[in-house]
Amino acid sequence: MSGLAFLIPIALGMGLLGLAGFFWAMRKGQFEDLDGAAQRILIDDEEEDEQ
């Protein structure tokens, strides 16, 4: 029973963290260009473009 006292807050906290992450990603426009994100992985890095 005493275990629950910290296990439940931890579980809830992790859920809230995920939720906050999703909200953040949405506000930052991470879902604006899903097709583009899928394509960009295929672009070769050019020498002068390497970061």
CB of 30 to other proteins, least distance (A): 12
Give me the residues that bind other proteins (CB under 8 A), please.
1, 4, 8, 11-12, 15-16, 18-19, 22-23, 26, 31-36, 39-46, 49, 51
CB of 8 to other proteins, least distance (A): 7
CB of 6 to other proteins, least distance (A): 14
| DSSP secondary structure, 4-51, as one string | HHHHHHHHHHHHHHHHHHHHHHHHTTTTTTHHHHHHHTTPPPPGGG--
